[in-house]
């Protein structure tokens, strides 16, 4: 097999946004098939390249996932590489990027087992509403929004989350309600396409409900996305830079998604072909 497109047991045939990658690779003469990432019967030595795509249970078993990636990365070419997956599956990477000058959404970090007075933090930083989330998470799992008036409840929730792992506390960005996030997607370091995404939290107010492709109109956001990728290191086969507007009207990095993000290939007519060519160049 030339390319194993890695997914998980609930999506054995890939999600709809990614399905178009299969014919794009076939058109280049490559044998590409979906493979369950943790299939114990899989011999990874028979694969030329393993592409992480829909491994959407990995955050629930991060230790097992990164150990698997280390093993598979020794047997075949894994993209993105195992060290990148380990780094990106704990959101402490945002601290590293911020230290390199990237404009990241302000964050208070709570180590596992520690506590935080959310009311005092919100008063000190002038945050009217806060967002709490685990540092290892995906899809808004265990993410909560609390107004400052519910600071005591928020403090208790931080303590609850911190019993399981590290926790992030951020200001709620009110622009999310109308703007959502802008995702800038890159293949092998080159810009491919951009997608406008609604808020992830199901109960968050929103001005639109489905992701849509768009033509970037704000040079400062593209400059931010490029600064993020430069700070992250050598070009990666795929990367999604998620940007949102902060409460002062400035773009901020929300996430650098280089593990298993939706790349929204089906929303852009040339995206699947661009990714397929980038994959072929690695073989």
What pLDDT sits at residue 210?
Answer: 86
72, 44 Cβ separation under 8 angstroms: yes
Mean pLDDT, to the nearest integer, of 22-41?
Answer: 98
HEC secondary structure over the chain? CCEEEEECCCCCCCCHHHHCHHHHHHCCCCCEEEEECCCCCCCHHHCCEEEEEECCCHHHHHHHHHHHHHHHHHHCEEECCHHHHHHHCCCCHHHHHHHCCCCECCCEEECCCCCCCHHHHHHHHCCCEEEEEECCCCCCCCCEEEEHHHHHHHHHHHHHHHCCCCEEEEECCCCHHHHCEEEEEEECCEEEEEEEECCCCCCCCCCCCCCEEECCCCHHHHHHHHHHHHHHCCCCCEEEEEEEECCCCCEEEEEEECCCCCCCHHHCCCHHHHHHHHHHHHC
Confidence of residue 205 (pLDDT cuts 50, 70, 90): low
**pLDDT tens per residue across span 179-204:** 889 999 999 999 999 999 987 665 55
Percent of the chain with pLDDT over 70: 96
**pLDDT tens per residue across span 108-151:** 999 999 999 999 999 999 999 999 999 998 766 788 999 999 99
Residue 106 has pLDDT above 70, yes or no: yes
Mean pLDDT estimate for the chain: 94
What pLDDT sits at residue 81?
Answer: 98
Confidence of residue 208 (pLDDT cuts 50, 70, 90): low
Rounded to whole angstroms, the Cα distance separating 10 from 7 reads 8
What pLDDT sits at residue 202?
Answer: 57
Mean pLDDT, to the nearest integer, of 26-52?
Answer: 98
β-pairing verdict for 190-197 and 212-214: antiparallel
Report the helix count and the strand count for the chain, using DSSP H and E.
10, 13
- The closest alpha carbon to 57, from 2, 5, 6, 105, belongs to 6
Percent of the chain with pLDDT over 90: 89
In the block, which residue shows the tokens 């609850």? 160
């Amino acid at each position: 097999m030339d390319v194993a497109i890695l997914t998980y047991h609930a999506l054995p045939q890939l999600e709809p946004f990614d399905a178009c990658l299969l014919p794009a690779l076939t058109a280049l003469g490559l044998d590409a098939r979906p493979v369950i990432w943790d299939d114990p019967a899989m011999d990874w030595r028979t694969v030329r390249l393993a592409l992480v795509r829909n491994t959407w249970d990995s955050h629930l078993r991060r230790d097992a996932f990164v150990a698997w990636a280390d093993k598979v990365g020794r047997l075949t070419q894994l993209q993105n590489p195992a060290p990148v997956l380990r780094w990106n599956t704990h959101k402490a990477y945002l601290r590293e990027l911020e230290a390199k000058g990237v404009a990241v959404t302000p964050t208070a970090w709570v180590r596992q087992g520690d506590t935080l007075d959310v009311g005092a933090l919100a008063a000190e930083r002038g945050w009217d509403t806060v967002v709490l989330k685990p540092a290892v998470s995906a899809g808004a799992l265990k993410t909560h929004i609390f107004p400052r008036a519910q600071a005591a409840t928020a403090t208790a929730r931080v303590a609850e989350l911190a019993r399981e792992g590290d926790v992030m506390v951020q200001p709620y960005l009110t622009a999310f309600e109308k703007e959502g996030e802008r995702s800038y997607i890159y293949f092998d370091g080159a810009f491919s396409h951009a997608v406008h995404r609604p808020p992830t939290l199901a109960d968050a107010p929103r001005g639109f409900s489905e992701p849509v492709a768009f033509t970037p109109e704000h040079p400062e956001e593209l400059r931010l996305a490029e600064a993020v990728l430069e700070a992250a290191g050598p070009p990666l086969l795929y990367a999604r830079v998620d940007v949102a507007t902060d409460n002062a009207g400035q773009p901020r990095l929300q996430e650098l998604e280089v593990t298993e993000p939706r790349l929204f290939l089906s929303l852009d007519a040339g995206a699947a072909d661009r990714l397929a060519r980038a994959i072929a160049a690695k073989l």
